[in-house]
Chains A and B, each alone.
Chain A
């Protein structure tokens, strides 16, 4: 795998990806793709983005040697890529800044987004406040209930939150409604998708904007360790924080890549969000990729304690990396993630979001007393503030007092 060069011009990662949308959206996607190609070569655009990364987000994010966790594992040397220190508390802001600059360039005057955990919603509302654009966030009513702090944040930032009552009332349905909004308001609206999902060019564009994570991590680890890491680990919902970390390392054969999905109550139960472990290839939200579906191609509802991973699909590039065996994907249950959430808090003094807690759980499960002398970078892509109530409830702590 010398020169990784995906996707092709039609947005295909191998067989996966593509543009499966109605004709109303096709001209927009083509326009978006062309505009995106232009700004990639636009020095002014890139400079503006870099400046925002530095002074608004606080990049580069630190690479922290998690000594206590490493000692606990008695195995590899673990580094955290600390994107949870970003402004707004997760990696989502990287992508939102890129997309809103693009929206501005394209002369769009209205922003929409979907959100699950609310992190992407908060990041979108934040950049809209910064650039003075009206912002409409679609959010499943189930997620509104379990991510209340983020709902309030978005409101403070001036966003209009539209509760979604259809389907499972979570991320998938929020995305359906956002797509419908876009179909209705094609002329003035820019849809900021929050993950490496959806039709081309989103999976590629979001990956590119997020790949600042991997680029930094690469420089940082080379400086500290004088060599590349042996493993990368990241959680996978739609797959943006994971692709952001993985992408700059894909050509490095020796770097082993691990994606961790949310297996909810267990990968063999009906209450899972582990798309690549339990799903089959199909089409959801404009893209061909692994999805959780029944024998008739009806999309199943996902389940995860983490609203950000509660999605029955996954970005097409992950499906491709799985099939060509460049990356391996594993599922972690709600319970395992909750344990890791607590362990990381105690050992490292870092309260992680429930999403990267899944990556942590896999690390703890798979690397205890193993891989001594190896180095691992784990993407700590979000902080746990937003999950305090959910976690307290699940652990049995009365947080209302």
Chain B
């Protein structure tokens, strides 16, 4: 059974957080807090030295996590540990391919099997995915598809043909944490995608507040949203005061659960 196959039909909330941020032990507390709100999906970012598709905030979180020398194995152990107390939320890993390759694709899948429901490999495009996708399929882990405003309909049709879990629609051309949202354009593209697939279409990149979440829900037919940078930003806003950070996370997640 894969939790991504049982997502609600509306207002899906997916929350992204970097593993090991700010430190390995504090990271556990951050995830405990996030998971206590039972979001539909949680995305665990594995820190990478060269996150070329990420904006400054997620980059910084990666850098801070790597400073305390977190390893891939430690991240995966943390995720497995969190899984024990979390029955409702679907678990997704978001990372760069080199992390998986270096760990060994087979080994990696063995570690996350029965723990993780899906994986987003940011820099693994459709053209290169075949062998990894086969292995993931065999282990009931969904390879999540990213679609960008640059993806034309012909291409999205090919990409979505065998897509499972959900579609990650990048709401603006840009890196994570970018700021412009054009609801008309988003809705047009979301509608087109929904004609091509039955799985939920989630909008991510640039969603920062309850207002943004409400606006997406009101102005588009998207099935939900993904929030990442905004969760991490708070830590820097609060001058890295961890206690205050946890409190503000709590408040923020309550707000964006609409």
Contact = CB atoms under 8 A, between A and B. Distances in A.
A binds B: yes
Interface of A: 10, 18-28, 166-167, 172, 176, 179-180, 183-187, 282-286, 291, 293, 295-299
Contact of B72 (A18, A21, A283, A297): A297
B126 interface: yes
B49 A167 contact: yes
Contacts of A25: 150
Contacts of A27: 148, 150-152, 155
Contact of B150 (A28, A166, A299): A28
Nearest to B122: A22
Interface string B118-160: 0000111111100000000000000001111111100100010
A167 B50 contact: yes
A10 B173 contact: no
Contact of B123 (A20, A291, A293): A20
Contact of A283 (B59, B123, B145, B152): B123
Given A27-B151, A172-B50, A176-B50, A297 B102 contact: yes
9 contacts: A19-B125, A21-B125, A24-B149, A26-B125, A183-B173, A184-B178, A284-B98, A297-B48, A297-B98
Question: Taking chain A's interface residues, is the majority helix, strand, or loop, or is none over half, making it mixed?
Answer: loop
Given A167-B50, A296-B99, 7 more contacts: A22-B122, A22-B146, A23-B170, A26-B126, A183-B174, A186-B173, A296-B71
Contacts of A172: 50
B97 interface: yes
A187 B173 contact: yes
A180 B147 CA distance: 17
Contacts of B191: none
Given A24-B53, A183-B175, A282 B101 contact: yes
A20 B101 CA distance: 12
Contacts of A183: 52-53, 173-175
Given A10-B127, A296-B71, A298-B66, A24 B173 contact: yes
Interface of B: 48-50, 52-53, 55, 59, 63, 66, 71-72, 96-99, 101-103, 122-128, 145-152, 155, 159, 170, 173-175, 178
Contact of A297 (B101, B122, B150, B174): B101
Given A19-B125, A23-B146, A27-B151, A180 B175 contact: yes
B50 A20 contact: no
Greatest chain B CB density within 10 A among A172, A295, A297 is at A297
Contacts of A22: 52-53, 122-123, 125, 146, 148
A396 to B, nearest CB: 35
A21 B48 CA distance: 15
Most A Cβ at <10 Å: residue of B49, B96, B101, B146: B49
Contact of B98 (A167, A179, A283, A295): A283
A295 B66 CA distance: 13
B236 to A, nearest CB: 15
